[in-house]
Amino acid sequence: MTSLVSVSVGVSNFDRPLLEELHSIATTLPHLVQNWAEPGNVDLDVRAYCRASHCVYQPYAPLRNVRFLSPTIRSVLDRLAEKYSVSLYVVILRFFIQSGAAVIPRSTKKEHLEENLLAFEFRLEAEEMQSLGWLLSDPV
């Protein structure tokens, strides 16, 4: 009997040069890259690597430090939350989902879990994505 072994690799906190170094020596390339990102700082260089290498990009804890976002980004999030009648956390989830990232929002509260689903009820316009750090030339 022959058994098949499947290997998947994920990495965290890798910048583009480190990913390229790994690419040059690894026999199995990452299937997932998990890095810190938030609106206004979306890790575009690593995201481009992921797209070219067919691996998934996952921002970790993109909702954790909302209170420390720049006033400009916070203002944009507040405006979009009002426009779409959702919380700014839902806007952030929508932003990352729409940018092609894999998100796993963490919550133990039923109302937050239900609220997270609202991220699938609307779509940000290209200019809104850009105002949160996404380039208009990137697919959305």
pLDDT in tens, 94-130: 999 999 999 988 888 999 999 999 999 999 999 999 9
Cα separation of the two ends of the chain: 46
Classify residue 99: in a domain, yes or no: yes
Asked if the model's pLDDT at residue 88 lies above 50, the reply is: yes
120 inside domain: yes
pLDDT tens-place string over residues 11-28: 999 999 999 999 999 999
pLDDT more than 90, % of the chain:
75
pTM, 2 dp: 0.88
Domain around 104: 10-131
How many angstroms separate the most distant Cα atoms in the chain?
62
Q: What are phi and psi of 59, to 5 degrees?
A: -75, 135
Does 32 score more than 60 pLDDT? yes
Give the CATH number of the domain where residue 79 resides: 3.20.20.100
Is the residue at 139 inside a domain? no
Task: Find, among 114, 93, 101, 94, the residue nearest to 35 by Cα.
Answer: 101
117: three-class secondary structure by DSSP: helix
Three-state secondary structure of 44-81: HHHHHHHHHHCCEEEEECCCCCHHHCCHHHHHHHHHHH
Domains: count for the chain: 1
